[in-house]
C-alpha cells in the first residue's frame, strides 16, 4: 500500500492525549451551573470556556510539549460532542432551537424530554452519554465546535492537533433505540462524515488529527480488529488529509495494533501502563509509524519512575519508525496540579504527579530520549530519590497487616450454610414476612451541609457537630418509626461520601484538598489516594449506629462500604496487585463488623455498588477479577456470628456477567435495582441458584415521582411469583440522600402500606 503522507506533517516528540477541562478551581462547573440557573449568559459561559481552553493549551506548550491536543474541551462530555458533530442527537431534542440548550437537554433532560442514558467510560469513573441510534438517525457532519476550537488555538499561537472520538468507538458505545439497527452496522454512514471531516481539517490547515479508539482495547464487539483495518484503511487511503494518529488506551489493543499498523495511518498511540512493550515489538509494520508511547500514567496519580520509563522507550526504538512520549490516556482522569495540596508530607508529595506534573515528566522523557539522560540529570535524580523513599517508607509495609493477611485461610471467607444462618437470624430478629427497609442514606438536608461546613471552618467544635448529627439521626429514626418500617437505618448524615468517609479514617489513605476530577457533566469527585497499607486505628461507625439503636426497639442496620467499592472510587496503589489492597481494606471493614456486632448491632449492610465497575475490559481477565473481588467481600463479612445478618446493596439490575459473583458474595440479604421488572431480576438470580434474601428495589429513587401503594403492591405481587415471602425484602432501589423529606415520607408510607397489603393477602 502506498503511504500518502501529507508533506507538511512532521512527527512530534512530546504530547498528551488530552487534558482536564473543568478548570483548576472548577471554574467550568460554576459557569455552567450559573448558566443553567440563569445567572450567567451564554456569552459569559463561552468566555469562561475560551479562557480555560487557552490556559490549558498554554500550560501544555509551556511545559515543553510540541504537539497540543485541542477539542478535548467539552461543556459536558466528548461522546455527546461527537454525537453533535455527527448531527445524531435524538429526535426528541430536535425541536429545541438554541444549540446550547439542545445540547444540555440531551445531556440532562428538561421538563419535556428525558436525557440520554449515562454510563461509565470504559473502566474509569468518568461517565459519558450513550448515543442513540434510531431507524431515523441520519448522520451529517457538523464540525462547528472542532473548527472553532482550532481557530481559537491558532489565534493563541498554538498549532492544534484536534482530537475526535473515532467512528468505531462512537458506534461501539452507542445503543440502538426504537428498533434501530445494531449501531456498528451504520459504520459506513459514520465514516462518510469522517471523510468530510478530514477534508475540512485540511482546509483549516490542520497537520495532525487524533482519532480516539479506546474501544479497540476491549471485547465489547466482535471483529473490532478487522473493523479497524477497514475503517482506517479507507480513511488513510485519502490523499488530501492531515496525518492521522489513532489513539488506543486503557489496555492492550491486541490484534487491532497490527491491523492499524498495516493501514497507512501515520501514528498509533499505545498505552504502555496497561499494555506492553512486547505487543509493540510483535508488530513489524510499526517500523514505519510514529509510535506515541504512553509511558506516563494518565489516569493514576503516581510520579513516573523516569529511569524505568526511559528504558521502556529505549526498548521501543528498534520497533518504531519514530517515537513520541505521551501519557497513557487523557489526563482528564487526574486532578490539575499538586500545587494546592498543602497537607502532604514530603515523602507523599514526592511520590505523586497530577496533570501538571505529568506534562513536565513527558517533556523530560522526550528530551532525555533525544539528548541523553544526562541532559535531564536533575529530574532523574529527583525521581530516583522520591522512589527510594517510597520503597522504604514504613507506611507501605505494615508488618501487622501483612502477617494477618498471610494467615487468612478459606475459613476466614466462609460462613455457615446460608439456610442455617437465616434460621438463626430469624429467631433472633423475629421480622414479619416481606420486611421493609431502606438502603441507608436519608435526605442530605441543608442543616447537615451547614454543620459540615461549620466544622471545617472551625465555627463549631466536634461536640457541637456531634450534637447536630444526633439531632438529624433522631429525626430520621422518628420518621421511620412513624412510617412503620421494620428495619431502620441511622440515615448517614455524617457521611459526605460513602468512600471518602471511610478513607478519612483509615491508615493508608490520603484525602486531597483540591484533587477534583470530572465524574460527569459538572459533577466532580475528589477520590482519596490509597498509598499505604490499610489499617483501622479505631471504630469508624459504631458510635453513630449505637446512638440510633438507643432511640428505638426496632433493629438498626449498621452501614459500611465494601472493599471493592472503596478501591474503585480511590486512586489505587500501583506497587502491589489490586487484590492485595482489596484484602487489606477488607480486614479493616471486617474489624468494623465485629465491633458493630459486639455493640449489639444485629444487621450490618456492606455496600458494593461498584462491584461491576471494576470488571476488566477483556473477557479473558474477568473471572480472575471476580474471584478476588468476591473473596475480598467475603473476608470483610465473614467475621461475624451466624446470628448477625449481613446485607449488601448493588446499584444496578443488568447483572449480566456478574450475576454468579453476586450470588457468590453470599450476603444474607441483597438489595438491588430492579428497573426492568422484578421478575426478570429475580429469575436471573434464581437461575444461578441464589437462595438468600433479596430486596429488588420497588421504586426508583432517581426520580422525584412518588409511587402509589397500588403500583408497589403490583411489583410485590410479581416478585412473589419468583421468590417466596420468606426471602423477599421490600425497599427502594438506592439511598435516599438526593431526595427531599416530603418525597421520602410519602413514598415510604406507600411502600409500607403495599407491604402490609401483600402480607394480609399472604394470610
Ligand atoms: N448506603 C448508601 C446510601 O444509601 C448506598 C449508596 C449507593 O448504593 N451508591 O446512600
Ligand atoms: Zn445504590
Alpha carbons 43 and 36: distance in angstroms, whole number: 13
Q: Name all residues whose Cβ lies below 6 A of ligand 1.
A: 439-441, 492, 498, 559, 607, 609, 649, 651, 734-735, 737
pLDDT digit string (tens) for 214-245? Answer: 999 999 999 999 999 999 999 999 999 999 99
- The arithmetic mean of pLDDT across residues 84-94, rounded, is 97
Checking DSSP bridges between strand 517-520 and strand 523-525, what pairing results, if any? Answer: antiparallel
Q: Give the distance (Å) from ligand 2 centre to CA of residue 562.
A: 13
Give phi and psi for 292, each to the nearest 5.
-95, 105
Alpha carbons 119 and 134: distance in angstroms, whole number: 19
pLDDT band for position 489 (cuts 50, 70, 90)? very high
Beta-carbon contacts of 502 under 8 Å, excluding residues fewer than 6 positions away, are 540, 560, 561, 566
Q: Does 299 score more than 50 pLDDT?
A: yes
Round the CA-based radius of gyration of the chain to a whole number and report it: 27
Give phi and psi for 137, each to the nearest 5.
-65, 120
Q: Spell 605-615 as b/e; 16+ CB within 10 A means b.
A: bbbbbbbbbbb
Judge contact between 289 and 264, C-beta under 8 A: no
- The arithmetic mean of pLDDT across residues 117-143, rounded, is 95
Which pTM value belongs to this model? 0.95
Helix (H, G, I), strand (E, B) or coil at 75: coil
Does CATH place domain 421-443+484-762 in 3.20.20.210? yes
Q: Does 747 score more than 70 pLDDT?
A: yes
pLDDT band for position 703 (cuts 50, 70, 90)? confident
**Among 443, 607, 674, which residue has the most ligand 1 atoms within 8 Å of its CB, making it the best to mutate?**
607
**Among 439, 603, 606, 613, which residue has the most ligand 1 atoms within 8 Å of its CB, making it the best to mutate?**
439
Nearest to 678 by CA among 726, 732, 715: 715
Ligand 1 atom closest to the Cα of residue 439 is 4
Alpha carbons 246 and 544: distance in angstroms, whole number: 52
Q: Does 1 score more than 50 pLDDT?
A: no
Determine the pLDDT at residue 6.
Answer: 54
Please measure the distance between the N-terminal and C-terminal CA atoms of the chain and give it in whole angstroms: 78
Q: Does 381 score more than 70 pLDDT?
A: yes
Alpha carbons 616 and 173: distance in angstroms, whole number: 16
- The arithmetic mean of pLDDT across residues 67-73, rounded, is 98
Q: Give the distance (Å) from ligand 1 centre to CA of residue 438.
A: 10
pLDDT digit string (tens) for 26-39? Answer: 999 999 999 999 99
Higher pLDDT, 358 or 738: 358
Ligand 1 atom closest to the Cα of residue 559 is 1
Determine the pLDDT at residue 681.
Answer: 85
Ligand 1 atom closest to the Cα of residue 440 is 4
Alpha carbons 390 and 392: distance in angstroms, whole number: 6
Q: Does 40 score more than 50 pLDDT?
A: yes
Helix then strand count (H, E) for the chain reads: 27, 20
256: number of Cβ within 10 Å: 25
Distances (CA, A) of 648 to 187, 267, 303, 619, 664: 42, 47, 36, 26, 12
Q: Give the distance (Å) from ligand 1 centre to CA of residue 559.
A: 9
Q: Does 629 score more than 60 pLDDT?
A: yes
- The arithmetic mean of pLDDT across residues 111-139, rounded, is 94
pLDDT band for position 7 (cuts 50, 70, 90)? very low
Give the number of whichever ligand sits closest to the CA of residue 607: 1
Ligand 1 atom closest to the Cα of residue 609 is 8
Q: Give the distance (Å) from ligand 1 centre to CA of residue 575.
A: 30
**Among 127, 438, 498, 701, which residue has the most ligand 1 atoms within 8 Å of its CB, making it the best to mutate?**
498
Alpha carbons 383 and 377: distance in angstroms, whole number: 10
pLDDT band for position 656 (cuts 50, 70, 90)? confident
Instruction: Output helix, strand, coil percentages for the chain, rounded to the nearest 5.
Output: 45, 15, 40
- The arithmetic mean of pLDDT across residues 567-590, rounded, is 97
**Among 443, 568, 734, 736, which residue has the most ligand 1 atoms within 8 Å of its CB, making it the best to mutate?**
734
- The arithmetic mean of pLDDT across residues 747-762, rounded, is 97
Higher pLDDT, 700 or 173: 173
Q: Does 386 score more than 90 pLDDT?
A: yes
Determine the pLDDT at residue 111.
Answer: 86
- The arithmetic mean of pLDDT across residues 670-683, rounded, is 82
* Per-residue cell: 325: 512520549
Query: Could you confirm whether 333 is annotated as catalytic?
Result: no
Query: On the CB side of 561, how many CA atoms lie within 13 Å of its CA?
Result: 27
pLDDT digit string (tens) for 429-441? Answer: 999 999 999 999 9
Q: Whose CA is nearest to atom 4 of ligand 1?
A: 735
Q: Give the distance (Å) from ligand 2 centre to CA of residue 609.
A: 6
Judge contact between 231 and 167, C-beta under 8 A: yes
Ranges 245-254, 366-375, 673-682: which has the least confidence: 673-682
Give the number of whichever ligand sits closest to the CA of residue 736: 1
**Segments in 317-392 forming alpha helices (H):** 346-351, 355-371, 377-392
Determine the pLDDT at residue 677.
Answer: 66
pLDDT band for position 494 (cuts 50, 70, 90)? very high
Determine the pLDDT at residue 714.
Answer: 93
**Among 545, 562, 649, 650, which residue has the most ligand 1 atoms within 8 Å of its CB, making it the best to mutate?**
649
Q: Which residues are registered as beta bridge partners of 208? A: 243
Give the number of whichever ligand sits closest to the CA of residue 438: 1
Q: Does 8 score more than 80 pLDDT?
A: no
Determine the pLDDT at residue 704.
Answer: 84
pLDDT digit string (tens) for 444-475? Answer: 999 999 999 999 999 999 999 999 999 999 99
Q: Give the distance (Å) from ligand 2 centre to CA of residue 671.
A: 8
Give phi and psi for 208, each to the nearest 5.
-130, 140
Alpha carbons 98 and 104: distance in angstroms, whole number: 10
Judge contact between 597 and 578, C-beta under 8 A: no
Q: DSSP string covering 531-564, please? A: EEEEE-SS-SSHHHHHHHHTT-SS-BEEEEE-HH
Q: Whose CA is nearest to atom 6 of ligand 1?
A: 735
Q: Whose CA is nearest to atom 9 of ligand 1?
A: 609
Determine the pLDDT at residue 2.
Answer: 44
Q: Whose CA is nearest to atom 1 of ligand 1?
A: 440
Ligand 1 atom closest to the Cα of residue 735 is 4
Q: Give the distance (Å) from ligand 1 centre to CA of residue 497.
A: 9
pLDDT cut 70: percent of the chain above it: 98
Q: Is the dihedral of CA 501, 505, 508, 512 positive or negative?
A: positive
Q: Give the distance (Å) from ligand 1 centre to CA of residue 750.
A: 21
Determine the pLDDT at residue 478.
Answer: 98
Judge contact between 268 and 289, C-beta under 8 A: yes
Give the number of whichever ligand sits closest to the CA of residue 491: 1
Q: Does 104 score more than 50 pLDDT?
A: yes
Determine the pLDDT at residue 522.
Answer: 95
Q: Residue ranges of the domains in the chain? A: 27-390, 421-443+484-762
Burial of 675 (0-12, 13-18, 19+ CB in 10 A): middle
- Point out the catalytic residue in the list 647, 649, 678, 702: 702
- The arithmetic mean of pLDDT across residues 726-754, rounded, is 96
Beta-carbon contacts of 428 under 8 Å, excluding residues fewer than 6 positions away, are 602, 643
Q: What is the DSSP letter of 453?
A: H
Q: Give the distance (Å) from ligand 2 centre to CA of residue 633.
A: 17
Q: How much is the mean pLDDT over the chain?
A: 96
pLDDT band for position 654 (cuts 50, 70, 90)? confident
Taking every pair of Cα atoms in the chain, the longest distance, rounded to a whole number of angstroms, is 84
Judge contact between 602 and 640, C-beta under 8 A: no
pLDDT band for position 655 (cuts 50, 70, 90)? confident
Q: Spell 543-582 as b/e; 16+ CB within 10 A means b.
A: ebbbbbbebeebbbbbbbbbbbbbbbbbbbbeeeebbbbb
353: number of Cβ within 10 Å: 24
* Per-residue cell: 568: 474503585
Judge contact between 226 and 184, C-beta under 8 A: no
- The arithmetic mean of pLDDT across residues 12-38, rounded, is 98
pLDDT digit string (tens) for 400-427? Answer: 999 999 999 999 999 999 999 999 999 9
If you classify domain 27-390 with CATH, what class do you get? alpha beta
* Per-residue cell: 571: 486512586
Give the number of whichever ligand sits closest to the CA of residue 738: 1
Q: Do 27-390 and 421-443+484-762 show the same overall fold?
A: yes
Alpha carbons 452 and 637: distance in angstroms, whole number: 30
471: number of Cβ within 10 Å: 13
- The arithmetic mean of pLDDT across residues 118-135, rounded, is 95
Judge contact between 528 and 500, C-beta under 8 A: yes
Determine the pLDDT at residue 3.
Answer: 47
Ligand 1 atom closest to the Cα of residue 737 is 10
- The arithmetic mean of pLDDT across residues 682-691, rounded, is 92
Nearest to 668 by CA among 686, 690, 693: 693
Q: Where is 243: in which H helix or E strand?
A: strand 243-247
Amino acid at each position: 500500500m502506498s503511504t500518502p503522507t501529507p508533506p507538511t506533517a512532521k512527527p512530534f516528540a512530546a504530547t498528551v492525549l488530552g487534558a482536564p477541562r473543568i478548570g483548576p478551581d472548577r471554574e467550568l462547573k460554576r459557569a455552567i451551573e450559573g448558566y443553567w440557573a440563569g445567572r450567567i449568559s451564554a456569552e459569559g459561559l463561552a468566555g469562561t470556556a475560551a479562557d480555560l481552553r487557552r490556559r490549558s493549551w498554554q500550560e501544555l506548550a509551556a511545559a515543553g510539549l510540541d504537539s497540543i491536543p485541542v477539542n478535548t474541551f467539552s461543556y459536558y462530555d466528548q461522546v455527546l460532542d461527537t454525537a453533535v458533530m455527527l448531527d445524531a442527537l435524538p429526535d426528541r431534542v430536535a425541536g429545541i432551537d438554541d444549540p446550547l440548550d439542545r445540547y444540555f437537554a440531551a445531556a440532562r433532560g428538561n421538563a419535556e424530554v428525558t436525557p440520554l442514558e449515562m454510563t461509565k467510560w470504559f473502566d474509569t469513573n468518568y461517565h459519558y452519554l450513550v448515543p442513540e441510534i434510531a431507524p431515523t438517525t441520519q448522520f451529517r457532519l457538523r464540525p462547528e465546535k472542532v473548527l472553532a476550537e482550532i481557530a481559537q488555538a491558532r489565534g493563541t499561537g498554538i498549532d492544534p492537533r484536534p482530537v475526535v472520538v473515532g467512528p468505531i468507538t462512537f458506534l461501539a458505545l452507542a445503543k440502538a433505540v426504537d428498533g434501530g439497527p445494531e449501531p456498528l452496522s451504520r459504520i459506513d454512514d459514520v465514516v462518510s462524515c469522517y471523510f468530510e471531516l478530514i477534508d475540512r481539517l485540511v482546509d483549516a490547515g490542520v497537520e495532525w488529527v487524533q482519532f480516539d479508539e479506546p474501544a479497540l482495547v476491549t471485547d465489547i464487539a466482535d471483529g473490532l480488529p478487522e473493523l479497524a483495518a477497514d475503517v482506517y484503511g479507507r480513511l488513510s487511503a485519502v490523499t488530501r488529509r492531515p496525518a492521522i494518529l489513532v489513539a488506543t488506551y486503557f489496555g492492550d489493543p491486541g490484534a487491532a495494533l497490527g491491523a492499524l499498523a498495516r493501514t497507512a495511518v501515520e501514528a498509533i498511540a499505545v498505552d504502555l501502563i496497561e499494555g506492553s512493550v512486547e505487543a509493540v515489538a510483535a508488530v513489524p509494520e510499526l517500523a514505519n509509524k510514529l509510535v506515541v508511547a504512553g509511558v506516563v500514567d494518565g489516569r493514576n496519580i503516581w510520579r513516573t519512575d523516569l529511569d524505568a520509563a526511559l528504558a521502556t522507550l529505549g526498548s521501543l526504538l528498534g520497533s518504531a519508525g519514530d517515537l513520541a512520549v505521551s501519557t497513557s490516556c487523557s489526563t482528564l482522569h487526574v486532578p490539575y496540579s499538586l500545587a494546592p495540596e498543602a497537607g502532604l508530607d514530603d515523602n507523599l508529595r514526592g511520590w505523586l504527579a497530577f496533570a501538571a506534573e505529568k506534562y513536565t515528566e513527558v517533556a523530560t522523557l522526550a528530551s532525555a530520549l533525544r539528548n541523553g539522560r544526562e541532559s535531564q540529570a536533575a529530574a532523574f535524580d529527583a525521581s530516583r530519590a522520591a522512589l527510594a523513599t517510597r520503597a522504604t517508607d514504613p507506611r507501605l509495609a505494615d508488618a501487622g497487616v501483612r502477617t494477618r493477611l498471610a494467615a487468612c485461610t478459606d475459613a476466614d471467607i466462609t460462613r455457615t450454610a446460608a439456610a442455617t444462618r437465616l434460621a438463626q437470624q430469624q429467631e433472633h430478629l423475629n421480622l414479619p414476612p416481606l420486611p421493609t427497609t431502606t438502603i441507608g442514606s436519608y435526605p442530605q438536608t441543608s442543616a447537615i451541609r451547614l454543620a459540615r461546613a461549620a466544622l471545617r471552618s472551625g465555627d463549631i467544635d466536634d461536640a457541637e457537630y456531634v450534637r447536630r448529627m444526633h439531632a438529624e439521626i433522631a429525626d430520621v429514626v422518628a420518621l421511620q418509626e412513624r412510617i412503620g418500617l421494620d428495619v431502620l437505618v441511622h440515615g448517614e448524615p455524617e457521611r459526605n461520601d460513602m468512600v471518602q468517609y471511610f478513607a478519612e479514617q483509615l491508615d493508608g489513605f490520603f484525602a486531597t484538598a483540591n484533587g477534583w476530577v470530572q465524574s460527569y457533566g459538572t459533577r466532580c469527585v475528589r477520590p482519596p489516594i490509597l498509598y499505604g497499607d490499610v489499617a483501622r486505628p479505631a471504630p469508624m461507625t459504631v458510635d453513630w449506629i449505637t446512638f440510633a439503636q438507643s432511640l428505638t426497639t426496632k433493629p438498626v442496620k449498621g452501614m459500611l462500604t465494601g472493599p471493592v467499592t472503596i478501591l474503585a472510587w480511590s486512586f489505587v496503589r500501583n506497587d502491589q496487585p489490586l487484590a492485595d489492597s482489596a484484602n487489606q481494606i477488607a480486614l479493616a471493614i471486617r474489624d468494623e463488623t465485629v465491633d458493630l456486632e459486639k455493640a449489639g448491632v444485629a444487621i450490618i449492610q456492606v455496600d458494593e455498588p461498584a462491584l461491576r465497575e471494576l470488571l476488566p475490559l477483556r473477557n479473558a481477565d474477568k473471572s480472575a477479577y471476580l474471584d478476588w473481588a468476591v473473596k475480598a467481600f467475603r473476608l470483610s463479612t465473614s467475621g461475624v456470628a451466624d446470628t448477625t445478618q449481613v446485607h449488601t446493596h448493588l446499584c444496578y439490575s443488568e447483572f449480566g456477567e456478574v450475576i454468579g459473583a453476586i450470588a457468590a458474595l453470599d450476603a444474607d440479604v441483597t438489595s438491588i435495582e430492579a428497573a426492568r421488572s422484578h421478575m426478570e431480576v429475580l429469575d436471573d438470580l434464581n437461575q444461578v441458584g441464589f437462595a438468600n434474601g433479596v430486596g429488588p428495589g420497588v421504586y426508583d429513587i432517581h426520580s422525584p415521582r412518588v409511587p402509589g401503594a397500588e403500583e408497589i403492591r403490583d411489583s410485590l405481587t410479581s416478585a412473589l411469583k419468583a421468590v417466596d415471602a420468606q426471602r423477599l425484602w421490600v425497599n427502594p432501589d438506592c439511598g435516599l440522600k438526593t431526595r427531599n423529606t416530603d418525597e421520602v415520607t410519602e413514598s415510604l408510607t406507600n411502600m409500607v402500606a403495599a407491604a402490609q397489603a401483600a402480607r394480609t393477602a399472604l394470610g
